[in-house]
Amino acid sequence: MEKRVLLAFILSTTILALWYYFFAPSPPQPTPSQKPAAAPTRAANEAKTPAETPEAPPAVSVPEREIRIETPLWTAIFHNRGAVARSWNVHHRPNGQILLGADRRPLELIPQEREVIEKLGRPFALRSPEAQLDRILQTATYTVATEDSTLRIEKGETRQLTFTYEDPARELRVQKTFTFFGDRYDFRLSISATRAGRPLEVALVLGPSFGDQSIRRSDTYTKTPPIAVVRAREETHRVHAEKVPKEPPQGPITWAGIEDNYFALVAIPTTPTSRVSFSTHALKETIEDEEITRHFIAVTLPMSAPQEFTVFAGPKDPQVLAAVDARLGGVELEEVINYGYFSSVVKPLITWVLLPALHAVHKLTGNYGVGIIVVTIALNLFFYPLRRSSTIRMRKASALQPKMRELQEKMKGLKKNDPRLQELQMEQLRLMKEANPLGGCLPLLLQLPIFWAMFILLTVSLDVRQAPFVAWIDDLSSPDRWHVLPILMCASMIISTLMTPAPSGDPSQRVQRFMMAYVMPVLLTYLFFWRAPSGLVLYWMFSNLVGIAQQLLINRSLGPQPLPVAAEPNARGISKPKAATKG
């Protein structure tokens, strides 16, 4: 399966970003109760960088504060130290569907690990290539333009949250203004940064990582590590934390951000930036007595302030992304959904066929598992004429195999200039055209794009995420924890293979037939379906079951398998096909 090949890159060794070497944030700042000890810490920093001028205290001492933003769709917590987001919880989709983490608890999308925060910062932090200015931007306590600790924004309402930092001694002024909407996942962010009245070169931080933080382990299917995604020069680039390219995508950068399978944090600058950079960190943890390494990645967008962004922080719902894209005039934000290598085929299948069909059945039954079964049956009925045609061709191919082998034996003993050779070759060509055993593979080949589209759908669609089916199968996007579905699917594959006519009647190929009928299904089940999403296994199993029923119907309508063709020599010694008789 091509997905396995794509995700194999995740096993490569982590490349630590050189960018962090120049822009490392300072150690954690003391709490307000420890502020009298701040002077020794500053002195220690100055000792490390003697060339720097002593830091002057800010003109106004600002107490630290948290501001909670609540909307019908999401909740976030901002902090005025650094004017950053510390928590982001998406709890509903526009259609009212509740969104929870993989642990069935409130969905937290921002990492909370202290080590990761110290290394990579927090969302919406500002960085600078100047070490002293970078520390100020990271640790400064901003003034908040509201006394409210909670901003509740209802549907149709708009509220602003402004953070301002001023340092008269350095003639430094930094301001961030967030404009939130009660019924949207996207919001506006305006940034201005000046020193002595001149714009500063700063960089906006997106990340580190963004996605379901209850997931500690990654797997092949629905729990891939967070990935940086960049849209540049009409191409979408995806960067894994374990494999950061030496040369980042070149501008103009249309948008950039962080994604996992279902959620994304993306910033779309009003004026495209010219470059982008990445920072990574590997965190070692022990889970269930097993040491694992989790990888985190952050994206930084350098800019010359002032700059405005539209920021999207929410689920990768095609309709939601399309609405944001329409408001921005077509920045192709839907490309944040990874449809794989064959997106030109897969995307139309998902958006025009599979999803509408699943939604229609779900409205009637309230169960996406039933929807998968109904769609599978409908697709197999659509391909029934091809299955019947391929069965007829494979039967012909099997019946003509003795004649084909006889022609090959006769041609071995003839010279190239022998006139009988050309006639034998023509006869062989006629038989091959008549049989065409490759035509029997056509239904399977046509089903592969649909199988791939169903696979992509089950790994990126929020509709089937945590959607229950029956009994123990409470999430169609997760594996069957009892492995009942994979075992049943393997059995259906074996039966389906045994019922398919063999393209060759050669007894010497019985070993190959055994391998195809028994060994391959077991191997495929273990390698690709044992930990596959339950919805994908359900689709493949019912596709096999419907195929078995169709094959029984075809076999009954066509009658017994034709007997092999025997050879009957003509006047020139060339055998012509003749059906063998019993007895």
Q: Please state which of the ranges 5-19, 265-279, 336-350 shows the lowest mean pLDDT.
A: 5-19
State which of 296, 328, 360 marks the end of a domain. 328
pLDDT band at residue 1 under the 50/70/90 scheme? very low
Claim to verify: residue 103 and residue 45 sit in the same structural domain? yes
- Which strands sit side by side in the sheet containing 126-127, from one edge to the other? 126-127, 201-206, 290-304, 277-287
Residue 48 banded pLDDT, cuts 50, 70, 90: very low
Query: Is 338 part of any domain?
Result: no
pLDDT digits (tens, 9 = 90+) for 82-92: 999 999 999 99
CATH of the domain at 303: 2.70.98.90
| Residue 135 burial (10 A CB sphere; 0-12, 13-18, 19+) | buried
Which residues share a beta bridge with 180? 159
Say if residue 521 is in the same domain as residue 470: yes
Residues 491-510 have pLDDT tens digits of: 999 998 888 766 555 555 67
Alpha-carbon gap, residue 43 to 49, rounded angstroms: 10
pLDDT at 539 over 90: yes
Alpha carbons 469 and 482: distance in angstroms, whole number: 14
Q: Is 583 contained in some domain?
A: no
Let me know if residue 106 belongs to a domain: yes
Same domain, 508 and 401: yes
Q: Are residues 360 and 413 in the same domain?
A: yes
Tokens 């350095």 -> residue: 170
Q: For the segment 400-420, what is each residue's pLDDT rounded down to a tens digit?
A: 667 766 766 777 767 776 767
pLDDT: is 69 or 561 the higher one?
69
Confidence bin at 81 (pLDDT 50/70/90): very high
- The domain boundary, picked from 276, 295, 328, lies at 328
Answer left, alpha or beta for residue 104, where phi above 0 means left and psi between -120 and 50 means alpha: left
Q: Are 315 and 383 part of one and the same domain? A: no
Per-residue pLDDT at 389: 82
Judge whether 215 and 226 are in contact, CB under 8 Å: no
How far is residue 327's CA from residue 257's CA, in Å, rounded to a whole number?
Answer: 19
pLDDT at 441 (0 to 100):
66
**Local structure of 325: helix, strand or coil:** helix
Same structural domain for residues 308 and 386?
no
Residues 209-260: tens digit of each pLDDT? 999 999 888 777 767 778 999 999 999 999 999 889 989 998 899 999 999 9
Looking at the structure, tell me whether residues 364 and 301 fall in a common domain: no
Query: pLDDT band at residue 310, thresholds of 50, 70 and 90?
Result: very high
Length of the chain: 583
pLDDT mean across residues, the chain: 82
- Work out how many domains the chain is built from and give that number: 2
Contact (Cβ atoms closer than 8 angstroms) between residue 411 and residue 360: no
* Gap between the Cα atoms of 101 and 107, Å rounded: 4
Q: What is the DSSP letter of 98?
A: B
In a domain, 342, yes or no: no
Taking 60 as the threshold, does the pLDDT of residue 443 lie above it? Answer: yes
Are 540 and 474 in the same domain? yes
Same domain, 295 and 148: yes
Structure tokens belonging to residue 132: 């002293």
Helix (H, G, I), strand (E, B) or coil at 458: helix
Q: Which tokens belong to 323?
A: 């609405």
Considering the domain architecture, whether residues 283 and 363 belong to the same structural domain is answered as no
In a domain, 403, yes or no: yes
| Alpha carbon of residue 461 to chain centroid | 10
- Residue 408 tokens read as 């090959």
Distance (Å, whole) CA 99 – CA 94: 11
My answer on whether 383 and 269 are in the same domain is: no
Is 494 part of a structural domain of the chain? yes
Residue 155 lies in a domain: yes
**Does some domain include residue 281?**
yes
Higher-scoring residue by pLDDT: 242, 42: 242
Cα angle 45, 116, 296; round to 5: 135
* Burial of 60 (C-beta count, 10 Å sphere; 0-12/13-18/19+): exposed
Domain that holds residue 179: 2-12+29-54+63-328
531 vs 142, more confident: 142
Percentage of residues in the chain with pLDDT exceeding 70?
A: 77
Task: Check whether 8 has a pLDDT greater than 50.
Answer: no
Encoded amino acid at 204, one letter: L
Do residues 370 and 475 share a domain?
A: yes
The torsion angle over the Cα atoms of residues 364, 366, 368 and 370, rounded to 10 degrees, is -60
In this prediction, residue 505 carries a pLDDT of 52
Q: Which two tokens stand for residue 246?
A: 């030496």
Q: Give, as one character, the DSSP assignment of residue 366.
A: S
Determine which of 8-12, 25-29, 171-175 has the lowest per-residue pLDDT on average.
8-12
